[in-house]
Amino acid sequence: METAYVLVQCKIAHEMEVLKALLDIDFVKEAKGTFGYYDIFVKIQAEESQVIENIITTKIRTIPNVTATTTLSIIPEQDPNA
C-alpha cells in the first residue's frame, strides 16, 4: 500500500468547499483543515504510486479554488505500518 500526504492551498473563504470536494475523491482517506501556510492536509492511500499521482494531477489540482499543492510521499522502507 502506497501513502502520500498532500498539503493544499486554496483561495481565501473557499476552504470548506475544497475540503468537501477532497473528501469525495476515491482513495482520499483523510482531509483536515489546518492553520498556517497550507489550508488542508490530505492523506491518500492506493496500491500503486501511479494511482496517487493520477489523483493529485487530475483530481486534486483541478478542484476549483485550489491554488497550489505540495506532495509528501512516504518512503516504503521506513513505513512502520507496511
Class at the top of the CATH hierarchy for domain 2-66: alpha beta
pLDDT at site 22: 98
pLDDT at site 82: 63
Which sequence spans correspond to the domains of the chain?
A: 2-66
Mean pLDDT for 4-19 is 97
pLDDT over 70, % of the chain: 98
pLDDT over 90, % of the chain: 85
Round the average pLDDT of the chain to a whole number and report it: 94
The string over 20-59, giving b where at least 16 C-beta atoms fall within 10 Å of a residue's C-beta and e elsewhere, is: ebbeebebbeebeeeeeebbbbbebebeeeeebbebbeeb
What confidence category does residue 80 fall into, taking pLDDT thresholds of 50, 70 and 90?
confident
